[in-house]
Amino acid sequence: PKLVESQVIGGIIRGVSYAIYEDRIMDAASGHQLNANVDQYKMVGSRETPAIEVLLMEQIGAQSSTDARGIAEASNVATSAAIANAFYNATGKRIRTLPMNPANVLATLSA
């Protein structure tokens, strides 16, 4: 259970990072990524990571012939939608651009 919990937490952290911070900047002329290193490509850090409580539910029955199941994928995918829906619930405006950085938030609020 601890390994599963850690996988879910990692997936949520990646989802938060993707939703709010990560923005791949490309050079239109060359097609090269302009922020291709860890100094320039912004990702969520430990200071920005929220407290995360994981609730696990037992699932009975095999999902595959090996009884293997995906864990972190579900938490990663759902996080951006959860953050966008929280923004909508707070403001009444749908943000449809990732990342949900200050510039995109302000553009959505002023539209």
CA nearest neighbour of 25 among 35, 16, 15, 40: 35
Catalytic residue among 5, 48, 53, 73: 73
Residue type, position 97, single letter: T
Known catalytic residue at 5: no
CB 19 within 8 A of CB 99: yes
Would you please indicate which residues are annotated as catalytic (active-site) residues? 73
